[in-house]
Every structure is written in structure tokens, then in C-alpha cells.
Structure 1
Amino acid sequence: MPEINKHITLPKNVATGDDLDYAFLREKGLEYIEQLASDLWTDYNSHDPGITILEMLAYALTDLGARLEMPLENILAPEDEDAASIGEQFFKALQILPSQPVTEADYRKLFIGIEGVKNCWLKPYQKTVYVDCKNNRLSYSSDDFKDIDDSFKTEFQLQGLYSVIVDFDDFDPDEFPDEDAVNDGKERIYEEIKTRFHANRNLCEDLVDIMEVKTHPIAVCAGIELNPEADEELVHAHVLRAIDNYFSPSIKFYSLKQMLEKGYTSDQIFEGPVLENGFIDPQELKNAKLRTEVRLSDIMNLIMNIEGVKVIKDITIKDCNNPEDEGESWIICVEEGKKPVCCPDSAYSYYKSVLPVNVNHKKVDAYLDEMEKAAKAEQEQARFNMEPEIPAGRFLNTGETTTIQNDFPDTYGIGPNGLPSHVETARKAQAKQLKGYLLFFDQMLATYFAHLGKVKDILSVDNKLKETYFAQAVKDIKGFSELVSGYPENDDEALSDLLFSGLDNRVERKN
């Protein structure tokens, strides 16, 4: 069956019900006329001069509305090519949105941004102070007051003291070839943590202790059946990596684009301290806490989600700190302040159908190295383009306008052609009266357009602006000087001062 050609069609209903909808504005105008003047005004047809004026004003408003709907970069674009670009008119996101660390999550971000730190946790440091109220003495030891009656003793916890637990990245053996080099690397990280903490801490806060996270070994033993086409070495590499990340999650850095794709808004992305490495997902940071328990069901789900795994034939977990415990465990509680790690007693067996398959561990190591390099390369990309791209925009002179009077039919005699010379004086007077009446609307529209043209100056961080209300002279009216006197036709600044000098509180409106 031949494919039917699909044609683009215009919708029947194009009404928007806003300032872009001429029919909507005209209808609204008619409603107001009926409410205010229905006793005197009964002819609402297009030939009526009042309806013609309404239609002209509705058309002018659609022009203003269309300019308001222009891309913001075009509204803000400077007229002079040598003037400051849009990016120079405003504070950048990195300048105005971030803050110094305030919360625990902020400090964790600050420390995780240090090279070599995989994860870290900020904990309140518990320090008890004992008080001898009778003799006005303080001590850190309750034994100092053991002879004092209990009614004269009390105690309290010192506030504002913290300790940091650090989980280090694996040190590169080429850069850190021996234990001394690794220890030097850890000391460097400890010093950097201290420096960052003291550069950002609140008054009466201090860092008491920094320690490397201790480990709680857990053995995982599993028999796994693979799909016939599966690469057993690659599957094993994914299993090891998944379990390691479950035991001790790594904190990923994301680019601005990736964070926006995750659904975060700009203020959420730039909240707290900004790191050179990229952005951290706050939900992932919250979830990457020290585990208090390891669940067998979680590990089973991780393994089953790996491509190439068909079924788990057998799996157990065992607490290597309690080798005497022979029972099967579904949950192992992890000691407080420690992270679970895979015990050397862990063992994995792989099968294809009923046949066992051998795993080449050198090939597994190669896969793991490849995955690690790919992850690092992805992390490196996160540090680039950390600010939103600011479009250049195109100057379209959005503040420029002209009188609506020149759009009226010639029969009104108020356009550039005027009236024939032979008409009566009364007819000329009527035309001038109409021009004077319409001048009120012209000036209002010109003022609105003037404000639109000055938006880029009002919103700019440049503080040179002397006023926040603007006006511009109505242009292109034939015989304008016969309609109004004392009107600065060629000085918009003087006109603005004339109209708004008593209204413009610049400091209040700019802030």
C-alpha cells in the first residue's frame, strides 16, 4: 500500500487570547465600550470612527506584543557593535549563583573536589565537658570530679567540632610507587582538607580530626550462568566493578549540559560551592553515604542487571570479621564509620549451560583498566563549559516607533497627505482635534516602546543609568507644532524628565 503524503495544514483556530491576538484585543475593546458608553454609543461597525480608532490601537498593541515576544538576546543586544556584549552586561552564573559552603553536603562537595578524594563524610566530633558547679571548674574527665556531690555536677557537649572521614581514590602506582609515596599523597590531601575547611568555616567551628575510612571485609561467593554469546571476562569485570561501587559509591562529576538534562534548574546546579571538576548531583551525593548494612538481595539485583548474565545459580555473602559464623547471611551489618570491601576470600564461578568456563584474570584486569580510563575521560569532560552559553543576539531597535495617525484612511485627513486645501476651516479644526486626541495614545505607546528599548540598560549591572522611567517623542506627525507647545521633540531625555521627574525613585526601582 503506497504511503499517503502528509501535508502541513494551518489550524482553524489561531486565537491566542493575548497581546498578539488582534481579534481578541478588538473584542475586549468592544466589551469595554459597551460597559462604559452603551447608552450613547450604539454603532459598533467598522465604518464608525471610534471603532476605527479601536482597531488602530489594537493593531499597535500587537506590534508591541510581537516585540515583547522576541528572543531575549535580541531585546538585550547592544546597538553599537563596540559596546559591551550581553555576556558583559550581566553577572555570569559562576559569579552570582554559587555560595561558600554552609551545609554538610556543601563541605563534602568541597573536599571531594580535591584530587585523590573518592568520597568523604563530615561528622560532628563528640566532646563532653564536665562541670563542677560548686567550685566553678571544667574538665574533660569525669574522674576529676568524682568526689563532688552529683547535685553540683553537670555536663554538656561542645558544639562546632567536626571530624572528616576520607575515602581515597586508588593511587597510581607509576606516580606513587611505594608506601612512603602513598602516605605523602595522603598527607597532602589531609592538609588541603584542613586548608579548605579553615578558609570557609564559621566562627567557633574547628576541625578536630581527619582519618582514612576503615574497612569491613565481606566475602561474596557466587555461581553465575551466562548467555552462550557472553564474554565471561567482560561480565566478570562488570560484576567486580558493580559490587565495588555498591560497597563504596564513587561520586561522579557532570557537565552543565548533563545536569540540565537530568532536570535540574540553574539555581539548583550552581547551589553551594562550585568545583573545578564539574558539578555533583545532589541526590547522588546524598545517597553516597557510608553503608550500615550489606544486603544479599541488592547484590543479586546488581548482578542480574549486567548484560550477559542469565541466572544466578548460587550466591552467599559472609562477614570476614566473623569467620566462625557458618550460617548463611542475607544481611550483614557494617561497623559504624567503616566501609565494606570485598574480602580476598570472595570467589566467582561462571557457567554456560552446565559447563563451567575459565576466566582469564589478565583479560579481566585489562577490561577494568579500560573501564577506569573511560570513566576518567568522561570525568575530564565535565570540567569544560561550566557556564551557560550566552547568545550574541541581533539588535533590532525594539524601541523605535512611529505615530498611529499615519495608518488611518486618508478620508480622516490626519495622515501625511492631510486635507485638500479647499476644505472648510471647521473640517480642518476637526482633523486637528482628532490628531490632538490621538496624540495621547501615541505618547503612551511611544513610552512603552521606549521602555522596551531600554530594558538592556535597566537590567545591566552597569550602574551609570540615571533614570528608570523613559519617554520618547512621538514622530512623523504632520503639523505637530500646531498641536502642542513646550514639547521637546528632539530631546528624549528632557521629555522623560518632564513627564516622570516626580515619579522616578531610581535607587528603589533598581533594587
Structure 2
Amino acid sequence: MIQAAAIDGKQPPSPALDWDGLIAEGRSVLGAMSDGRWTDFNAHDPGITLLEAFAYALTDLAYRAGHPIAELVTGPAEGPDRLLVGDAVTPADLRRVAIEVAGVRNAWIEPSEHPTLRLRYTPGAGEFDRAREPIERGDPVLLAGVHRVLIEKSSREDIASPELARTVAEILHRHRGLCEDFDTVDVLAPLPVGIAAELEIDDPARGDAVLLDIYTALADYCSPRPAWVDAAALRARGWATEAIYDGPATGGRRLDEDAAPRRRAALQRSDIIAALDRVPGVRAVRQVRMGADGDDLPGPIRWSLPIPSDRVPRFDPRASRIVLTSGGGFALDSSGRDDLAALFAERALDALDPPKALDPPAPPARDRRVGAYRPLRFDLPALYAVAPGGLEPEAGSARLAQVSQLRAYLALLDALLANHFAQLAGVGALLGSGETASYFAQPAEPIHTPAEPGSEVPLHADGFTADALQMLVEPPSSIAGLERRNRLLAHLLARYGEEAPLTLPPAGLQGPTLPAGRRVLDSRARFLSDFARLSAGRGTGSNLLDPADEPPLLDRIRLKLGLSEGEGARLRLVEHILLRPFAEDDGQAQALLAAAASPDPFSLQLSLVVDEALRPAADSLARVVRAETPAHLTLHVRWFGGAEFDAFAAAYTRWRTTLCTQRQQALGLDGGAA
């Protein structure tokens, strides 16, 4: 049976959408305002006609206000992969970032126990020098926060190792943790591993399938693939949405750390036997031998096969020989089945793709043009003659006066409604960070001045503009408007658990033309406009491949203090780990560092260098620095005089430029050899 479509007759969810209810309330108000003398509420009464048109405009406004927020701000709706992600914090986060690079099959972020230049510390002299074997005096220094990045290439993409190392290094430098660094980024060379084994299977007819499964088991053991888990599977495990998307953006996918063991330092014969025994169809494992890099098979039985630190094991079916037997008879010998080795290699390539089951993307937003307003007079009956062209040419002056008087009365209602529609259209600017207005206005009708011959009389005075109307509604210098805007931005920051500024600089730091309210508004607007970087990158260091990049922590401190851009330039943040000696410092006759304040002045420490001109804000700066600095880091505040700070700032800039050039040359990003 076909059901006829019908309008839902249920009560609207909002009283503002209930046209009948608005009319009933309007009639009640009219009766009360006229002391009960207005009793004709029929449709022929002009007052009721105007009330119905006004109520219709109100329902239109309420309907538009109910559009999704993404359509009110006319921007794309953001999903959790944009709103809930942060920057890399742990080595596991960095590993996810590296594995996402095309051409990377697997990656490991390991502590660099012996950085490029090994150091020793002499307690009595407070000196750091290169540690040479054997160490005659002093204590070895093991720096914290220095990582070694190891990459296993994918066999799917044919990318040269130096190019792959450069790409991974560029991405990791953008996600580098504060007070952390990368000692080396190495692409491991594959170490072909051959296996010789004799196994008994239950069904000789399935010999080909069983051999392919054996190849898969051996490949997974030698070099386990990183296992990805998509958002749907994580939810099935009980993960909350914010936990799924915590960390760098990877499309809602996370690495299954339980299924991704550490890089193998050795292959164990007992583990290989166990892996073969788990293959479906294998009844018994008779013998197993293993070799690498062309070792003769079968050879001597090895219980363990060490893997060099610069190699990654890769099972090679063509260098292996798997003999399958069944019921005491021969079933299959892999040495004569190159076709199965090729088929296995093809299947292994297909298995490298990560899962594609992501959360569905947010629907695209539409521009609803919620500010478009239609004047009331356009919808009144023709008898009222207030619509454009509605007044007959032969109408007398009395009729013209009546029509003009009604138009003037309607103009008051239109102005009220049009400004409400303009305020709704200004939601995007109101919730943004660059707008300074808090009230928005628009003319109810297009402005025509002066009137063309034969056209209707204009409503607006000569020279009147939309900008002039906005000036009347809220002048830029309005103190009340500034306070409203500040309250709104404070509310938006509070929704993210933030507050800026935490304090205002003392009066001595404030410019004579910049009132306190404007400084607060400027700090809050700048914080919100850069919120994604300031929030996600709170523990992220500067990109060492960009000499102009600064840590988000420094900008957070500036904005939390309410400093202007000029005042904020009198701060510098130095990560001590970047001051450690490098290989290029080897060969110096003197100590690499003398009169050190501690046995390890490099690890997990940073210094905030401040101009003495900001000394009046010292107490506020101390509170902000304590609140903003990640708890695992030690921050020192150094005060420099004006000339001393300028000299330091110049030296700091040269140092950052030199460090950037050195990193780019080491990675071959300057066109030179890596």
C-alpha cells in the first residue's frame, strides 16, 4: 500500500517554529495593550495581517538558526581525525608517523645509547670531553632524549634508501619532541635468510597451499609486519573516541603494539620450529636449519642466528628448501617450485596495505545564506501598495502619504528582523578569532540613493551605507563591544580548557595607545587563531630544518603573559640537547665544555632567555612558565640586559641557521650528497 506524503502535524520542537502559537501569543498581547478594546482578530484586519507576516519572519529566523553549526559558519565539518588529534609525544607516536611514510614497511625509534660523539665527564674539573676507549678518567655520559631511527624498506615502492631516509627525517623533524633529537636515520639493508626444513603434512593434495602458508609463517617470524587496527575494531575493544584519535593523525588507525614485537636481534631455531608447527596442515617438523647471506644449506645446526645492527632479516624462499612428506612418502620439494615463490612474493605485496575502514567523513557543509532577508512589505497583499511597483502612477498625494507612512512603520520592524538575520550570518565571524565586532547589522533593503526618476521614494538618506549602519550599531571604539567580544573569546577558550592571558603585563610595559582590554582581546584572538598548533604541539620542539620555526611552548608563554608581538620578541627558548657536541666537534685540543654546572647539562633541559625590559613581569612570567612547561623538563630562566640580549639574539639566529644548514647537508636536502 502506497502511503501518501503528508506534513507532520506534531507540535514543533521549538516555540519559535510554532506559527500558530506565535499568532495566538501576539493576539493576546494586542488585546492586553488595547485594554480589551481590540477584539477583531480576523484576517481582514490590517494589524492581524502585519502580525502574521511578522510571525512568519520569526519562524524563518528560528528555522535558519537550527541549521548545523558547520553550515552556519559555512565551513567544512571537522571530524575527530582533525579535532581530537595531537602531536607526537612518545616514541610509539613517532613510530606511527614514520610508518605512514610511503616506502616504509616498518620503523623503530630506539634510544641512541652511543650518539655520534660519545662523551665523558670529569667531576672535579667539570669538563666534558670525547670518551675514548679505554676511558682513562671521568664518567661516561648517556644523554636522554636522543633517538636512533631505523627504517625497513617496503618492497612495494621502489624508493632509493637515501631518498627514503630524507623523507622520514623531514617528517620526524616536524614532530620532534621538545628537548629531543634524532642522532641518525638509517635505512636497514635486508639480510636474506634461508631456511632448510623437512616437514610432514596431513594431505599431499594440499601441498602447494601448505607451502605458501609455510612461507608466510617464516616471513612473519623473520620480519613481523606492523599490525594496524582501525577505528571500528578499536571501538569493539571498548576504546573511547578520544583515545582512538589520541596522538598524531593516522586516519583513526593505530598500531597494535601487542602484535608488533621489537626489532629482532637474533633468530631462534626453537621459535622457527614453533612457527612451522602452528601452520595448518603440518603434522610434524622433522628438521630445521637456517642461514643468512648465502650460507650453504643444509649446513651445521644453529640454535641462534645473530642479526647485525645495520641489517633486517628478510625470509628468502628462493634461498630456502622446504621438503614436504606425507605418510612416509615424498609430497613436494620447494627447490623446484619457483612459481610458488613468485606467487608468495605477489601475495606479500598485497598484504602491505593498511586497513581502509575509517570513520565516515563528515558531510560537506552548505552555505545556507542565512543572512538573506526579504522585507515584510514584499509579502503583504497588493491592496497595501507597499511592494515595489505596487502604487499606481495616477495615485494622489494622499494615497502616496498613506503608503509612505506604512512603509516607514514597516521599516522599523524590518530593521529589527534584518539585524537578527545579520547576527545569525555573523556566527562564523563571531566564533572566529580575527573579527573584532560582536554585533552585526545589515540594511533591510538595498540602498538606492538618490532615487531614479519614476522609482519609489528611497527609505535611506543620501550617502547612507551599510558601513555607516554598522558604525551606528557598534562603533569600533565601543567599550561595551570590546567587553562583549572579550567575554565571548574567554568562553571559547574555556571550552578547550584554556585561559589567555593568565595575567597582564605591568603598566610600564603597556603601550600608551593600547588599552588593557585591547591587549586581552589581541592575546585571545591570536591564541584561538593558532589553537591547533599551540595545543597539539605543546610538547613539540622547533623544526630544525626551518631556522625560523619556534617551539609552540614559546608562543604559549608569550600569549599567556599577554605580551604584544614586539614584547614577545624579547624572549628566546633554547633546548640544551641541541647544544651537545657533535661529530664535527671531534679533534679539538681543549675540552668540549668546561665549568659545567651539572654532570649532564644537556638532557631534558631548556633555557628561557628574557630581556631585562620585561623584569616588571618577572612574577607573572615565573607563574606562567611553571604552568606551561611539560613536567618532565627542567626550565631555567636567564635575564639579559638590552644590549646583551640583542647580542644573544643575533648569535642565536646565526646558530639556528648554521644548525639548519648542517642538518640539511647531512640529509642531502641542499642538493649535496647525504
Q: Return the TM-score normalized by structure 1.
A: 0.54
Conserved 8 A contact 1:234-1:367: no
Matched, 1:240 2:215: yes
CA distance in 2, matches of 1:112, 1:460: 35
Secondary structure in structure 1 of the residue aligned to 2:148? strand
| Alignment deviations for residues 46-84 of structure 1 (CA, whole Å, 9 cap, x no partner) | 77998876654442133234445679998788xxxxxxx
Match of 1:61 in 2: 58
- 2:473 aligned partner: 499
The answer as to 2:365 corresponding to 1:365 is no
* Contact 2:277 2:284 (8 Å CA) reproduced: no
Q: 2:24 & 2:325 partners in 1: Cα distance?
A: 81
CA distance in 1 between partners of 2:134 and 2:90 (Å): 33
Unmatched 5+ stretches in structure 1: 78-85, 147-153, 177-184, 305-310, 326-331, 383-387
Offset at residue 500 of structure 1 (A)? 2.0
8 Å CA contact retained: 2:81, 2:252: no
1:249 Cα deviation after fit? 3.9
2:152 is paired with a residue of what secondary structure?
strand
> Structure 1 residues 318, 456: closer, same or farther in 2, change over 3 A?
same
**Greater CA drift, 130-139 or 42-51:** 42-51
Contact 2:110–2:149 (8 Å) recurs in 1: yes
Distance in 2 of aligned mates of 1:221 and 1:432: 104
Distance 2:474 2:50 in 1: 27
Q: Which residue of 2 aligns with 1:181?
A: none
- Paired with 1:469 and 1:286, the residues of 2 have a C-alpha distance of 55
Aligned in 2, Cα 1:237/1:66: closer, same or farther, shift over 3 Å?
Answer: farther
Pick aligned residue for 1:160 from 128, 139, 145: 145
Q: Deviations over 1:259-296 (max 9, x none)?
A: 9999999999897489xxxx793335885442689989
Aligned equivalents of 2:190 and 2:474: distance in 1? Answer: 70
C-alpha change, 1:405 and 1:296, in structure 2 (3 Å) is: farther
* Cα distance per residue 1:209-265 (max 9 Å; x no partner): 55638989999886555798xx753564355336534653445999xxx99999999
Correspondence 1:450 to 2:446: no
Question: Deviations along 1:306-346, whole A, 9 cap, x unmatched?
Answer: xxxxx664579989799687xxxxxx9x9998977669888
**Residue range with higher mean Cα deviation, 499-508 or 408-417:** 408-417
Distance 1:407 1:119, change over 3 A: same
In 2, Cα distance between equivalents of 1:8 and 1:266: 44
SS in 2 for 1:158: coil
Pair 34,171 (structure 1): closer, same or farther in 2 beyond 3 Å: closer
1:470 maps to 2:452: no
Partners of 2:214 and 2:276 within 8 A in 1: no
Structure 1 residues 398 and 36: CA distance shift in structure 2, 3 A: closer
Change over 3 Å in CA distance of 1:491–1:168 after alignment to 2: closer
CA distance, structure 1, for counterparts of residue 99 and residue 223 of structure 2 = 14
Structure 1 counterpart SS, 2:208: helix
Deviation at 1:401, TM superposition (A): 1.9
| Structure 1 residues 362 and 340, CA gap change in structure 2 (3 angstroms) | closer
Q: Is 1:218–1:340's contact at 8 Å kept on the other side of the alignment?
A: no
The letter for the 1-side match of 2:144 is Q
Contact kept in structure 1, 2:199 and 2:284, CA below 8 Å: yes
Q: Does 1:119 align with 2:106?
A: yes
Give matches, 1:324-473, under 5 Å. Answer: 347=322, 349=324, 358=332, 361-372=337-348, 374=350, 398-405=370-377, 407=379, 439-451=411-423, 469-473=439-443
- The residue aligned with 1:80 is none
Q: Take 1:31 and 1:200, find their aligned partners in 2: how far apart are those partners?
A: 60
Compared CA separation, residues 433 and 217, structure 1 to 2 (3 A) = farther
Distance in 1 separating the partners of 2:90 and 2:27 = 59
Aligned residue type for 1:474: A
Residues 441 and 232 (structure 1), Cα distance of their counterparts in 2 relative to 1, 3 Å cut: farther
Q: CA deviation at 1:369?
A: 3.6
Structure 1 distance, partners of 2:50, 2:248, is 55
Residues 289, 27 of structure 1: CA spacing in aligned structure 2 closer, same or farther, 3 A cutoff?
Answer: farther
Deviation at 1:367, TM superposition (A): 1.6
Distance change >3 Å, CA 302–CA 448, structure 1 → 2: farther
CA contact (8 A) 2:155 2:349 kept: no
Change (3 A) 1:415 1:95: closer
1:97-126 deviation digits (Å, cap 9, x = unpaired) = 999866534543554466654211111223
Look up the SS of the partner of 1:241 in the other structure: helix
Cα distance per residue 1:370-408 (max 9 Å; x no partner): 3255567x68x99xxxxx999797x87653322335546
1:188-207 correspondence runs (5 A): 201=176, 205-207=180-182
Letter in 1 for 2:112: Y
Task: Provide TM-score, normalisation by structure 2.
Answer: 0.44
Distance in 2 separating the partners of 1:225 and 1:30: 86
Q: Deviations over 1:140-159 (max 9, x none)?
A: 5896459xxxxxxx886422
How many residues align structurally? 435
Q: How does 1:214-293 map to 2 (within 5 A)?
A: 225=202, 232-234=207-209, 236-241=211-216, 244-245=219-220, 248-250=223-225, 272=248, 281-283=253-255, 288-290=260-262
Larger RCO, structure (CA 8 Å, separation 6 or more): 1
Contact 1:111 1:193 in 2 (8 A): yes
Q: Which amino acid aligns with 1:22?
A: L
The one-letter amino acid paired with 1:364 is L
**CA 1:95/1:323 → structure 2, altered by over 3 Å: closer, same or farther?**
same
CA contact (8 A) 1:234 1:364 kept: no
CA distance in 1, matches of 2:6, 2:325: 62
Residues 1:102 and 1:447: Cα distance change in structure 2 (over 3 Å): same
Contact 1:232/1:359 (CA < 8 Å) preserved in 2? no
Q: Given the superposition, is the C-alpha separation of residues 440 and 111 from structure 1 closer, same or farther in structure 2, using an over 3 Å criterion? A: same
How far is the alpha carbon of 1:446 from its aligned partner? 0.8
Alignment partners' CA distance in 2, 1:246 and 1:100: 32
Counterpart CA distance in 1 for 2:40 and 2:120 is: 90
Structure 1 residues 316 and 341, CA gap change in structure 2 (3 angstroms): farther
- Which stretch of the first structure deviates more once superposed, 234-243 or 185-194? 185-194
Residue 17 (structure 1) shift: 0.8
Deviation at 1:166, TM superposition (A): 2.9
Alpha-carbon contact 2:439-2:473 (below 8 Å) kept: no
CA distance in 2 between counterparts of 1:55 and 1:267 reads 52
CA contact (8 A) 1:29 1:54 kept: yes
Is 2:7 aligned against 1:22?
no
Report the CA distance between 1:445 and its aligned residue. Answer: 1.9
Post-superposition offset of 1:44: 12
Alignment-mate amino acid for residue 468 of structure 2: A
Q: 452-461 or 238-247: which moved more?
A: 452-461
Give the Cα separation in 2 of the matches to 1:239 and 1:32: 82
The Cα shift of 1:435 comes to 7.2
Structure 2: give runs of 5+ residues left out of the alignment: 292-299, 452-456, 486-520, 530-674
Q: Could you say what secondary structure the match of 1:62 adopts?
A: helix
Partner Cα distance (2:134, 2:27) in 1: 87
Matches within 5 A, 1:130-149: 133-137=123-127, 144=136
Aligned to 2:13, the other structure's residue is in SS state coil
Q: In structure 1, what is the equivalent of residue 619 of structure 2?
A: none
